[in-house]
Amino acid sequence: MAFLFNLYPQSLVSNSRLYLSLSFSLSESSMAAIPQPSQPSPTQISKIKYIKKVAESPGLTSVPASYAFTPSPSPSDQAVSEDPEDSIPVIDFSLLTSGTPDQRSQLIQQLGQACKDWGFFKVINHGVPESLMEAMIEGIRGFFNLTDEEKREFEGKNLLDPIRCGTSFNTSIDKVFYWRDYLKVVVHPEFHFPNKPAGLSELSLEYCKRTRGVARELLKAISESLGLEPFYIEKVMNLDKGLQMFNANFYPPCPQPELVMGLPPHSDHGLLSLVTHNGIGGFQLQHNGMWVNVNAIPNSFLVNIADQLEILSNGKYKSILHRAVVNKKVTRISLVMTNGPSLDKIVNPAPELVNNGINQPAYHGITYKEYFQWQQGNNLDGKGILDRIRI
Ligand SMILES: O=C(O)CCC(=O)C(=O)O
Ligand SMILES: [Fe+2]
């Protein structure tokens, strides 16, 4: 695996060649249209301050120009639903694992409906101890509280480096910076983690294992909800070698939150993302053309369908757009666990959902590795990357 991670950027070249030689029916013109990833150079990274540092500047009363979206993010982006979030589907995970067969099949139906209607649901009774979730949030707060010099040790240089810490999204190409710092770590198939602050890596190992278990169980149920056998996704996506990534976001208070973005609208690159946060609102998802504020029920996971599941389900389940907004008063921390196929997997629409004489494949096949590099190496821009492989 270390070998794999050291291959970039040569891997991009060889991978593209593999891509063409296997000719997953992507035309050259659509290939050419896909922007290639940009790697931040070490000098570019070190010129840009962590947002935590910017936010802590004494007497900061306005947003520095490099963070201000002018005019503020587009008006259509502003429509926030008045609807309470009560209508967001809630999935009782314990019924999947220890309910009666009737309860389980009812829940699978509910889950299928949630995936179709929202692409998003809250999961309760998931079995990950609340104390572990809270300790992870506090541990991550500790990580972002390390000195800049300590954090810079974990900056990473390439998109496939197992540990990457930084600010905004991709500072080599972001025209305006996002009001967030991040830590992104590959935790499966090999576990990596920063060795500071002391004890966090051990805690994280446990957290990653537990959340992976929840994700796999949900993916089993999602397979069934698509009319596939329970282990379909697990097998086809080679989840034993699946790429699980731990992403932590740190959004400090901002004097003019209406002028900045924490994270712009985007969908996630994997199959399924599990999100939790420190109880501070700021996560918004798109539903029926409006932004819906999502404040977690304590001790629950917010789960969203991500791009590889949209491809695999041939668009039956869509990845959802979501974004993060910031506030004036308190730091918001979120933990996002992305669960994806193995990096070498070519993800295609499931033939079982295509070859029924009615549907045509709606997406070109693509390796997850290539998809991941495109998504992480370009502007985070809605569903731009997925749109490129739509047929
Ligand atoms: O901060 C959040 O709640 C969302 C973060 C997110 O969408 C991501 O890291 O992909
Ligand atoms: Fe996301």
Amino acid at 350: A
CA of 321 to the centre of ligand 2 (A): 8
Q: Report CA(267)–ligand 2 centroid distance (Å).
A: 6
d(CA 278, CA 324): 13
Rounded to the nearest whole angstrom, what is the distance from the C-alpha of residue 288 to the centroid of ligand 1? 20
* Centroid of chain to Cα 50: 21
Burial class of 268 by CB neighbour count within 10 A (0 to 12, 13 to 18, 19+): buried
Going by CA atoms, what residue is nearest to atom 8 of ligand 1?
336
Pocket of ligand 1 (CB under 6 A): 247, 249, 263, 268, 275, 277, 283, 322, 324, 334, 336
Helices (H), the chain: 2-6, 10-22, 28-33, 42-47, 51-55, 94-98, 101-117, 130-144, 148-152, 200-225, 232-236, 307-312, 351-354, 368-377, 384-389
Q: Could you give the 3-state DSSP secondary structure of residue 64?
A: coil
- Counting from 1 in the atom list of ligand 1, the atom nearest the Cα of 338 is 10
Cα–ligand 1 centroid distance for 102 (angstroms): 35
At residue 253's C-alpha, the angle toward residues 251 and 258, to 5°, is 95
Question: Could you write out the DSSP letters of every residue in 255-302?
Answer: S-GGG--SEEEE--SSSEEEEEESS---EEEEETTEEEEE-PPTT-EE
Residue nearest to atom 10 of ligand 1 (CA): 268
For residue 249, which atom of ligand 1 is closest to its CA?
1
What does pTM read for this prediction?
Answer: 0.88
Write the DSSP string, 88-126. Answer: S-EEETHHHHHS-HHHHHHHHHHHHHHHHHTSEEEEES-
> Which pLDDT tens digits describe the chain residue by residue (391 residues)?
332 222 223 332 233 322 333 333 343 334 435 555 555 444 444 468 999 999 999 999 999 999 998 765 555 566 777 666 668 999 999 999 999 999 999 999 999 999 999 999 999 999 999 999 999 999 999 999 999 999 999 998 899 999 999 999 998 888 899 999 999 999 999 999 999 999 999 999 999 999 999 999 999 999 999 999 999 999 999 999 999 999 999 999 999 999 999 999 999 999 999 999 999 999 999 998 889 999 877 899 999 999 999 999 999 999 999 999 999 999 999 999 999 999 999 999 999 999 766 778 999 999 999 999 999 998 888 998 899 999 9
